Amino acid sequence: MHMLSRNATFNPHGQDSSYFLGWQEYEKNPYHEVHNTNGIIQMGLAENQLCFDLLESWLAKNPEAAAFKKNGESIFAELALFQDYHGLPAFKKAMVDFMAEIRGNKVTLDPNHLVLTAGATSANETFIFCLADPGEAVLIPTPYYPGFDRDLKWRTGVEIVPIHCTSSNGFQITETTLEEAYQEAEKRNLRVKGVLVTNPSNPLGTTMTRNELYLLLSFVEDKGIHLISDEIYSGTAFSSPSFISVMEVLKDRNCDKNSEVWQRVHVVYSLSKDLGLPGFRVGAIYSNDDMVVAAATKMSSFGLVSSQTQHLLSAMLSDKKLTKNYIAENHKRLKQRQKNLVSGLQKAGISCLNGNAGLFCWVDMRHLLRSNTFEAEMELWKKIVYEVHLNISPGSSCHCTEPGWFRVCFANLPERTLDLAMQRLKAFVGEYYNVPEVNGRSQSSHLSHSRGQSLTRKWVSRLSFDDRCSIHGR
């Protein structure tokens, strides 16, 4: 295939990782409450489906937003022609206001420093194109979102060097792990251009502490490199400690435009998680560096946001009553749903990392592994997908250094489906491992290998007809 580029024929973007394979299995046999009760329940998709009713009811009351109208007048032609990569001014203003609101208005953001992109996928890639040359590197704390392998490396030629975080301290970033990652890059002859963190974290579902943020800032200051903070989940921080943006910490530390580090701290945002609108492709880059803003703006030509969508969302986000109510209600529902998942897992003798944000839990299934290896993790994952019929994401796909952790999503399915998933898991653990539920802490397991196949059909069918589990309604 010498006729195509290396990009087209090589596969470094991780699209064949288990993250995507589980998805494929789900597509072949998706669970349906009525038509396919034995199907695979999708718990590998970090979508927020909990608050659509709020948006739908707003749309019903505000038909102009979708109808290309403004103050009763048609603005169709204006929108049809609007392809200015500076973005629709009203929308950018509404976006920065919304972002500030999510940050408790502890920061003020300038719409002129915001660049709109077709989703955070585009924003992240654009940042890498702007900040690093092929062969250079960014440091990313593990575990991280599997999509980064494709988004940040594929067409840019930039390398990712992991900052190895472990469960010993709740996967927090430390000075040591930062230094080690930097030295690892040096050993590999890779020039480090920056650190990219996701805060709140995917897949951990935790917000970064003030201490971690200070550490990061000192580190990038010391090394003279960039900090990209992907804050795509910032609106999903439903529990304390509250979310602290890197922008807030800059202010804390009295870093302003006179300090060098000010220009090297950048934020990525999107409406895909907070508002549950991944289909609308709304992402954004925020940077204090004018040159980065200028370059990113031009690059956004390759992925602009539809003006039709900018208009609709600008009207929506300009409605402060809606945004205030939405943010509060979103937190409330996410918190409740996470609680249900945690409690369901506890009943199966499984614990999670203590999470306060995101659309998923970082689940500890180490005690269910045959051995403390990634092979054993894969084995367990396959059982869960093919036998328990739950698609969850194995930690290895997120580059976790310790086998046995899984990401389980809770906001992309109805509560009763979540309950069913938990029942299946409980039955699986119970039959396979003889592990009783005790105070939510797991006990050592006895594995019964021989039971595999027949078990599946038996208890899966049983559960489908069972009355709703007692977890429901808690």
Partner 1 sequence: MLSRKASCDSHGQDSSYFLGWQEYEKNPYDQVKNPNGIIQMGLAENQLSFDRIESWLASNPDALELKRNRESVFRELALFQDYNGFPAFKNEMVEFMANMRGNKVKFDPSKLVLTAGSTSANETLMFCLADPGEAFLLPIPYYPGFDRDLKWRTGVEIVPIKCTSENGYKITESALQEAYQQAQKFNLKVKGVLVTNPSNPLGTTMTRLELNHLIDFAMEKEIHIISDEIYSGTVFNSPSFISIAEALTERNLEDDEVWNRCHIVYSLSKDLGLPGFRVGMIYSNNQTVVSAATKMSSFGLVSSQTQYTLSQMLKDKKFTANYMKENQRRLKRRKEMLVCGLKGAGIRCLESNAGLFCWVDMRHLLRSNTFEAEKELWKKVVCEFGLNISPGSSCHCSEPGWFRMCFANMSEETLMVAMQRVKALVDSTIVHQQTGLSKSRWLKSKWVFQLASYEREPDR
Tell me the catalytic residues: 145, 230, 232, 273
The bridge status of strand 265-270 relative to strand 390-391 is: unpaired
The residue among 130 and 400 lying less far from partner 1, judged by its C-beta, is 130
Three-state SS string across the chain, please?
Answer: CCCCCHHHHCCCCCCCCHHHHHHHHHHHCECECCCECCCEEECCCCCCCCCHHHHHHHHHHCHHHCCCEECCEECHHHHHHCCCCCCCHHHHHHHHHHHHHHCCCCCCCCHHHEEEECHHHHHHHHHHHHHCCCCCEEEEEECCCCCHHHHCCCCCCCEEEEEECCHHHCCCCCHHHHHHHHHHHHHCCCCEEEEEEECCCCCCCCCCCHHHHHHHHHHHHHHCCEEEEECCCHHHCCCCCCCCCHHHHHHHCCCCCCCHHHHHEEEEEECCCCCCCHHHCCEEEEECCHHHHHHHHHHHHHCCCCHHHHHHHHHHHHCHHHHHHHHHHHHHHHHHHHHHHHHHHHHCCCEECCCCCCCEEEEECHHHCCCCCHHHHHHHHHHHHHHCCEECEEHHHHCCCCCCEEEEECCCCCHHHHHHHHHHHHHHHHHHHCCCCECCECCCCCCCHHHHHHHHHHHHHHHHHCCCCCCCCC
* Helix 307-318 with 89-102: angle, nearest 10 deg: 50
With respect to partner 1, which residue has the nearer C-beta, 135 or 170?
135
Binding segment toward partner 1, per CB under 8 A, in 31-39, 131-139, 347-355, 382-390: 131-139
Using CB under 8 A, pick the residue from 15, 29, 37, 167 that binds partner 1: 15
Stretch of 230-238, 292-300, 318-326, 427-435 contacting partner 1, by CB under 8 A: 292-300
Q: Which of residues 258-287 bind partner 1 (CB under 8 A)?
A: 264, 272, 276-281
What does the per-residue mask of binding to partner 1 show for 157-196, with x meaning CB under 8 A?
------------------------------------x---
Q: Is the distance from CB of 199 to CB of 205 less than 8 angstroms?
A: no
Among 95, 130, 173, 471, binds partner 1 (CB under 8 A): 130
- Pick 49 or 461: Cβ nearer partner 1: 49
Q: How far is the CB of 161 from partner 1 (least distance, A)?
A: 17
Q: How many residues bind partner 1 (CB under 8 A)?
A: 73
- Residue 7 contacts partner 1 per CB under 8 A: yes
Residue 118 contacts partner 1 per CB under 8 A? yes
Task: Kindly tell me which residue out of 28, 34, 35, 63 binds partner 1, with binding defined by CB under 8 A.
Answer: 63
Q: To the nearest whole angstrom, how small is the minimum distance from the Cβ of residue 183 to partner 1?
A: 21
Cβ closer to partner 1: 89 or 104? Answer: 89
Cβ proximity to partner 1: between 63 and 473 the closer is: 63
Stretch that binds partner 1, among 7-15, 137-145, 391-399, 461-469 (CB under 8 A): 7-15
Q: State which of residues 79, 267, 341, 369 lies at the interface with partner 1 (CB under 8 A).
A: 79
- Distance in Å, CB of 49 to partner 1, minimum: 7
Select 306 or 401, whichever has its Cβ closest to partner 1.
306
Q: Site mask, partner 1, residues 304-323, x = CB under 8 A?
A: xxxxxx--x-----------
**What is the C-alpha to C-alpha distance for residues 361 and 86, in angstroms, rounded to an integer?**
37
Amino acid at 285: I
Residue 447 sits in the site that holds partner 1 (CB under 8 A): no
Question: Per CB under 8 A, which of residues 28..57 are in contact with partner 1?
Answer: 47, 49, 52, 55-56
When the beta carbons of 75 and 469 are compared against partner 1, the nearer one is 75
Question: Does the protein bind partner 1 through residue 1 (CB under 8 A)?
Answer: yes
User: Nearer Cβ to partner 1, position 3 or 34?
Assistant: 3
List the one residue from 19, 26, 68, 326 that touches partner 1 (CB under 8 A).
68
CB of 91 to partner 1, least distance (A): 12
Q: Which residue, 77 or 454, is less far from partner 1 as judged by CB?
A: 77
Separation in Å, CA 427 to CA 125, 174, 348, 455: 42, 39, 8, 10
Contact string 200-239 vs partner 1 (x = CB under 8 A): ------------------------xxx-------------
Q: How far is the CB of 271 from partner 1 (least distance, A)?
A: 10
Q: Which of 9, 24, 259, 443 binds partner 1 (CB under 8 A)?
A: 9
